[in-house]
Structure 1
Amino acid sequence: MGHSGGGVRPEDARERVPQARELGWDDSLYEGEGPPPEGAAPRDPAPRDTASKDTAGGGGGGATPPVRPRRRLWRVLRWSAASLSLLILVTAGAGYWYYEHLNGNIRSGERSGAGDDPAKARANAAGQTPLNILLLGSDSRSDPENVKLGGGKNLTKDPPLADVQMLVHISADRKNASVVSIPRDTRVSIPKCEDAGTGTTYPQVNTIINESLGRGGAGCTLATWQKLTGLYIDHWMTIDFAGVVKMADAIGGVDVCVKDNVWDRPRPGVPGGSGLKLTKGTHQVKGEQALQWLRTRHAFASDLGRAQAQHMYMNSMIRHLTSQNVFTDTPRLTGLAEAATKSLEVSKEIGTVKKLFDLAMQLKSVPTDRITMTTMPTETDPRDPNHLVARQADADTMWSMLREDVPFDSNGDKADAKAGADARKKAADQAAKTPSSAPADTGVTVRNGTGGAQTPVRGRAAEVTGVLSGKGYTLASAATELTPQEKTTVGYPSAELEGDAQAVAKALGIPLTSVKRSTDVSGVTVTVGADWRTGSAFPKSAEPEAGSVPDTADALNGSEKDACMDVYKPYRF
Structure 2
Amino acid sequence: HAGDPPLADVQMLIHLSADRKSAAMVSIPRDTRVDIPECKDPDTGKTYPATNDIINVTLARGGAGCTLLTWENLTGVYIDHWMTIDFAGVVRMADAIGGVDVCVNQNVWDRPTATVSGGSGLKMTKGTHKVQGEQALQWLRTRHAWGDDLMRARAQHMYLNSMIRTLKKQNVFTDTGRLMDLADAATKSLKVSEEIDVKDLYALGMQMKSVPADRITSVTMPNKRDPLDENHVVPDEANADKMWRMLRDDVAFDKNGGKDGKDAGKDEPAKKPSLDPGRLGVLVRNATRTSTEGAVAQRASAIGRELVDKGYTRAQADTSGSLAEEKTVVRYPSADLEGDAQAVADALGIPREQVQKSTDVSGVTVVVGADWRTGPSYPKTSEPEAGDLPDNTDAVNGSDTTKCMDVYSVYQW
- Normalising by structure 2, report the TM-score: 0.93
Distance 1:247 1:422, change over 3 A: closer
How far does residue 330 in structure 1 lie from its aligned partner after superposition?
8.8
Gaps (5+ residues) in structure 1? 1-140, 142-155
Distance 1:535 1:328, change over 3 A: closer
Whether 1:387 and 2:232 are equivalent positions in the alignment is yes
- Normalising by structure 1, report the TM-score: 0.68
Query: Residue in 2 aligned with 1:424?
Result: 266
- Mapped contact 2:215–2:398 kept (Cα < 8 A): yes
Query: Residue in 2 aligned with 1:568?
Result: 408
Query: Which of 290, 293, 316 is equivalent to 1:477?
Result: 316
How far does residue 310 in structure 1 lie from its aligned partner after superposition?
0.3
Q: Could you give the per-residue CA deviations for residues 336-385 of structure 1, whole angstroms, max 9, x where no partner exists?
A: 4564232122222112x222212221223211111111111111122222
How far does residue 188 in structure 1 lie from its aligned partner after superposition?
1.8
CA distance in 2, matches of 1:329, 1:476: 58
How far does residue 320 in structure 1 lie from its aligned partner after superposition?
1.1
CA distance in 2, matches of 1:328, 1:487: 40
AA aligned opposite 1:456: A
AA aligned opposite 1:238: T
Query: Residue in 2 aligned with 1:274?
Result: 120
Query: Residue in 2 aligned with 1:247?
Result: 93
AA aligned opposite 2:239: D
User: What RMSD in Å do the two structures reach over aligned CA positions?
Assistant: 2.1
Distance 1:176 1:265, change over 3 A: same
Query: Residue in 1 aligned with 2:299?
Result: 460
Q: Could you give the per-residue CA deviations for residues 480-529 of structure 1, whole angstroms, max 9, x where no partner exists?
A: 31112111111223333322222221111111222223333333221211
- Mapped contact 1:315–1:558 kept (Cα < 8 A): yes
How far does residue 397 in structure 1 lie from its aligned partner after superposition?
1.4
Query: Residue in 1 aligned with 2:372?
Result: 532
Distance 1:252 1:488, change over 3 A: same
Query: Residue in 1 aligned with 2:278?
Result: 440
How far does residue 333 in structure 1 lie from its aligned partner after superposition?
5.6
Q: Could you give the per-residue CA deviations for residues 154-193 of structure 1, whole angstroms, max 9, x where no partner exists?
A: xx22221111111111111111111111111112222222
Superposition pairs of residues 26-65 of structure 1, within 5 angstroms: none
CA distance in 1, matches of 2:265, 2:187: 37
Identity %: 65
- Mapped contact 1:457–1:533 kept (Cα < 8 A): yes
CA distance in 2, matches of 1:466, 1:293: 56
Q: Could you give the per-residue CA deviations for residues 124-153 of structure 1, whole angstroms, max 9, x where no partner exists?
A: xxxxxxxxxxxxxxxxx3xxxxxxxxxxxx
Query: Which of 212, 219, 238 is equivalent to 1:374?
Result: 219
Q: Could you give the per-residue CA deviations for residues 26-70 of structure 1, whole angstroms, max 9, x where no partner exists?
A: xxxxxxxxxxxxxxxxxxxxxxxxxxxxxxxxxxxxxxxxxxxxx
The range that moved more, 465-474 or 251-260, is 465-474
Superposition pairs of residues 7-22 of structure 1, within 5 angstroms: none
> Residue 144 of structure 2: SS of its match in structure 1?
coil
Query: Residue in 2 aligned with 1:200?
Result: 46
Gaps (5+ residues) in structure 2? none
Distance 1:422 1:522, change over 3 A: closer
- Mapped contact 1:177–1:371 kept (Cα < 8 A): yes
> Residue 535 of structure 1: SS of its match in structure 2?
coil
CA distance in 1, matches of 2:61, 2:403: 36
Distance 1:349 1:522, change over 3 A: closer
Distance 1:255 1:514, change over 3 A: same
CA distance in 2, matches of 1:522, 1:337: 41
Whether 1:357 and 2:202 are equivalent positions in the alignment is yes
- Mapped contact 1:250–1:335 kept (Cα < 8 A): no
CA distance in 1, matches of 2:222, 2:121: 28
How far does residue 241 in structure 1 lie from its aligned partner after superposition?
0.9
> Residue 451 of structure 1: SS of its match in structure 2?
coil
The range that moved more, 471-480 or 307-316, is 471-480
Query: Residue in 2 aligned with 1:400?
Result: 245
CA distance in 1, matches of 2:51, 2:323: 12
CA distance in 2, matches of 1:446, 1:337: 46
Superposition pairs of residues 172-251 of structure 1, within 5 angstroms: 172-251=18-97
> Residue 283 of structure 1: SS of its match in structure 2?
strand
CA distance in 1, matches of 2:263, 2:87: 42
- Mapped contact 2:250–2:263 kept (Cα < 8 A): no
AA aligned opposite 1:450: T
Aligned length in residues: 411
CA distance in 2, matches of 1:365, 1:390: 33
- Mapped contact 1:447–1:482 kept (Cα < 8 A): yes
Q: Could you give the per-residue CA deviations for residues 45-100 of structure 1, whole angstroms, max 9, x where no partner exists?
A: xxxxxxxxxxxxxxxxxxxxxxxxxxxxxxxxxxxxxxxxxxxxxxxxxxxxxxxx
Q: Could you give the per-residue CA deviations for residues 464-485 of structure 1, whole angstroms, max 9, x where no partner exists?
A: 2232233233332223311121
AA aligned opposite 1:305: M
> Residue 548 of structure 1: SS of its match in structure 2?
coil
How far does residue 291 in structure 1 lie from its aligned partner after superposition?
0.6
- Mapped contact 1:261–1:572 kept (Cα < 8 A): yes
